[in-house]
Structure formats: structure tokens, C-alpha cells
Amino acid sequence: MRRIGIWIAAGGLLLATAACGGTSSGGGSSSTPKNQSLSVGFVAEPANLDFTSTEGAAIPQALLVNVYEGLVKLDQDGKIVPLLAEKWEVSPDRKTYTFALRKDVKFSSGAPFTADDVAFSLDRVKTDWKLKIKSQLDVVDKVEKKDDSTAVVQLKKPSNGFLYSMATRLGAMFSRTGVSDLANKPVGTGPYTLGSWRRGDSIQLNANPSYWGTKPSLTSITLKYFKDATAMNNALLTGGIDVISAVQAPESLQQFADPNRFQTVEGTTNGEVVLSMNNSRPPFNDKKARQAVRYAIDHKALLDTAWAGRGQLIGSMVPPTDPWYEDRTGDYPYDPAKAKQLLGGKTLSVKMRIPNLPYAVASAQVVKSQLAQVGINAEIEPLEFPARWLDVVFKQGDYDLSIINHVEPRDMGIFADKSYYFRYDNPEFGKLLASADEGTEQQQTDDLKKAAKLLSDDAAADWLFLFPNLIVAKKGVTGLPKNAIAESFDFTALAKQQ
């Protein structure tokens, strides 16, 4: 009895403080109606703000396109469109790219953006960047300034990948006078600038008053970081944030089913959830065993069980937003009898070492039970991500099966590296990739289709599903990016209806 009394008393106290807090903040916002801001929940906070020397998706997600801009960017359909370059010309030998730059662009520091900055930024990739992705721009021979608003990039050989890389963080334009403290003070040409950073909590971006393009309709955006998915869901339910950038557990979506309060946006990503098989050691150095795995998995059932049916079945390492996408789900239809036949009546015992991430744990349970039905006994061993998984599976290759979401865009090339943890080794695949990069766009598309088919036929891995992009927002928030296929979470169109 007394205990209940205390609960009620505590509740009364809480409600009382809540009420006075509520009115004071309500009054504040109504007196300045034009001061529009939004807060968006994310899971991973950047360790620092320098994506030239620190790995991780969180930094470009926050800063690319929003604070830093490149000459080009990816649109929602995966097409490369102009940004700081108004247009560009490619020479007939496809080795010279001439970019016509916008003339009215300034960095947030006030310095004008010119062809010198293009040369500076691309040279810096070679000299100062610390990450392996910088090798994507090894194909650049030199960058020259023709005049202030024309930059000419010479390639060593024709490369389709070059312009695409320019749409990623590699193509971000830096000011010659703005790179002294990249980890804390980003200087870019984008519609937003860094306002404040409360470490462990949030980053605030403010609208850039001197932005060259369409000025953002919001005065500020707060990126709030949550380590816990439930905490993030609660924040949206209670009005602490306006948008969940990526839903961590699709089954939690039913909390947001009320259309008078919330909206859900579902699109695609570049994230292939791969059931990787170690191609270099028994049993999966045998193509038949790998094929058996592919036949043994009922992908539709897996997606329904593990990820509430959200996502898309793909069948190879290409998302539908790439031009060379083909539906390869028919290559290995669910056929447990055929799987058993390929195994020749043998039973296998394998180690499934997975990262301790929700999608991997959920998928692994289903994979285990489906494989068991054809005689493959998989022992699940969750490893702490990233440190343990990186060390054991990725670096040492000590695993038979693993499950991880490969989020990098256009990342089919990882199968061409036989030291990569798949340990897949087929020279034919590497040749197709090389000729795709050097050939015309049409050739690129044709070759990469062949490459994706080869991967699928070889059963180099199994592709469980394409990770969905699931955004939940308050009703009235507009301009949410449906597909998450670029590295950034693009805030430029975000707005709030009055």
C-alpha cells in the first residue's frame, strides 16, 4: 500500500515539474516561429570529424553533401548529377575530364572556391589521406587549373570508377586555408556549417547564410546519437527527436503505426547482407558445398523471420540502384533436396562466427535451422563487433560461415581480392572488373552483369537480402531521402510543415 502511495506521490512531483518545464519551452518556440529546427536520431556518433584519416560511416553520413560538397553527387536513383561542377566534358580517349565550376561558391570561412581548391583537394587524397579507399583515385595522373572556374583532371587510363568516386567522400572539396583542424573544424561549401558538438550527445549543424544554392528551409539540424535502439524509439515517441534516420529493429515499427502522428519511409540501400563462406578451406573450398548452402536457404522465409519482411532479395552483390543490377534470385531457388544431393549424403559441421549485431544474430538463427535440415550443422559464435570480428574473421579468416552487411557502394570488387576474407579466387572475375572499369559505360554495364552472374554461379557467397532503408519521422517532416545509397544522410531537402 505504502509503496503505491509513493509511486503516486512521485508521479505527482514529476507531472508538476513536467508541466512547468513544458510551458516554458513551449513559450520559447512559439515566440520565434521562423526559427525552424529538426533533430534526427542516429546510432553511431563520429569519433572525430576528419573522414580523410578516420574510418567509419558516421562522419561522411553527417558531413558529406551537408557541410562538404563535391563536384558531383549521387541522386536518389544512383545517377551522378552536378553539384559544384555545373557540367563536365570527357575527352574522346576518356582520359581527360574538364569540369566547369560554379562561379559564385564560397567556403564557410569566406574564401572563394576555385579550380585551385579542386587541385588541392584531389592532390591531398594522395598525400594526406590515410585510408585504403584513397587508392580509388590512384588512376588520377594530374589535376590542372585552366582558369579559376575550370579544372582539368587527367587520368592514367580510362576509368568509369573515377567519376563515381568523385561523388563519394574522396571527391569532397576542401579549402586550402581550412584543413588545419579537420577533426574539429570542418570548412566546406555546403548548405550547413558545424554549429556545436556536444560529445557523446549531439552535433548541431546550422544553415549556411552565404550558401550558393537553394538555401535550406531549416535554421538548424541536430544530429542526436543513441547507442540504444529502444532509447531512440522512445525519443521519437516522446518528441525528443523528429526523425529516426535508420530503424534498428523493423518489428518496432508498429509503435509508429498511427498515421496522424508518424510516417514511415522505406527505400533501398547499398547494404548487401552477405552470408560469407570461407572459400579457402574445407568444407567450403568445394563449390558443391557452397552451392548446397545456397539451395538450402529459403530467402523469403529468412527475410520474413529475421527482418520482418523488410528489405529485398537480390541474389548477388549488386543493389537495384546500380545500372548493372539483374535479379539473380532465381539462380539458386530454395531446394533442400538438391542441397542434400550436392552434399552426397554427408553431414557437415561448421563454425558460423558472426558479429554481435541485431541483423546478423537474427539471420544466423534462421540460417542455422535451415542448414540443419539438409545436414549442415552450424555452430553460432557471436563475436564483439568491430574489434573481435575484425580480428578473427576479417583478418585471420578463421571462420566457415559469417554474416555481415557490406554497406560500401559498388563494392563487388572486394571479391576480386583473394586475400579478402571471402578468400574467393577466380582470375576470370578480376579480368571482368578491370575491363569494366576501362571500357565504355555500356561495356561497364555488360561486364559487371557478367561478373555478378559469375559470383552467383560460383556460389562465392550467399546473399541473404538487401538491407532496407527504414526512416520513421513525425508527420509533417518532408524531404526525407528515401534511398540510402550515398555515403551521406542528405539534409538539403529536409523541411517541416508549419
Which stretches of the chain bind another protein, using CB under 8 A? 1-3, 6, 10-11, 14-15, 17-21, 24-25, 45, 47-48, 54-56, 130-133, 183, 198-201, 224-228, 230-231, 234-235, 237-240, 384, 386-388, 390-391, 394-395
Using alpha carbons, select from 305, 284, 316, 313 the residue that is nearest to residue 365.
305
Minimal distance, residue 121 CB to another protein, in Å: 19
Nearest residue (CB) to another protein, 1 versus 337 = 1
Cβ nearer to another protein, comparing 240 with 336 = 240
Shortest distance, position 382 Cβ to another protein, whole Å: 14
* For another protein, the closer CB: 320 or 358: 358
SS3 per residue for 50-119: CCCCCCCCHHHHHHECCCECECEEECCCCCEEECCEEEEEECCCCCEEEEEECCCCECCCCCECCHHHHH
User: In the bound complex, what is the minimum distance in angstroms from residue 228's beta carbon to another protein?
Assistant: 6
**Closest to another protein by CB, 57 or 380:** 57
Select 133 or 434, whichever has its Cβ closest to another protein.
133
Establish how many alpha carbons lie within 13 A of residue 117's alpha carbon, considering only the half-sphere containing its beta carbon: 30
Give min distance, CB of 233 to another protein, in A.
9
Q: What minimum distance in Å lies between the beta carbon of 384 and another protein?
A: 8
Supply the minimum distance, in Å, between the C-beta of residue 21 and another protein. Answer: 5
**Number of C-beta neighbours around residue 344 at 10 A:** 10
The one-letter amino acid code at 481 reads P
Query: Where do the H-state alpha helices sit in 229-286?
Result: 229-237
* Least distance to another protein, CB of residue 118, Å: 24
User: What is the nearest approach in angstroms of another protein to the Cβ of residue 62?
Assistant: 15
Terminal Cα-to-Cα distance of the chain (whole angstroms) = 47
Indicate the residue among 11 and 309 with the shorter CB distance to another protein.
11
Q: In terms of CB distance, is 3 or 87 closer to another protein?
A: 3
How far apart, in whole angstroms, are the C-alpha atoms of residue 102 and residue 71? 9
What's the rounded Cα separation, in Å, for the pair 87 and 83?
9
- State the Cα–Cα distance between residues 167 and 354, nearest whole angstrom: 32
Dihedral pair phi/psi, residue 342, rounded to 5°: -65, -30
Separation in Å, CA 260 to CA 232, 242, 497: 20, 14, 14
Look up cell 539534409; give the residue: 491
> Which lies closer to another protein via its Cβ, residue 92 or residue 200?
200
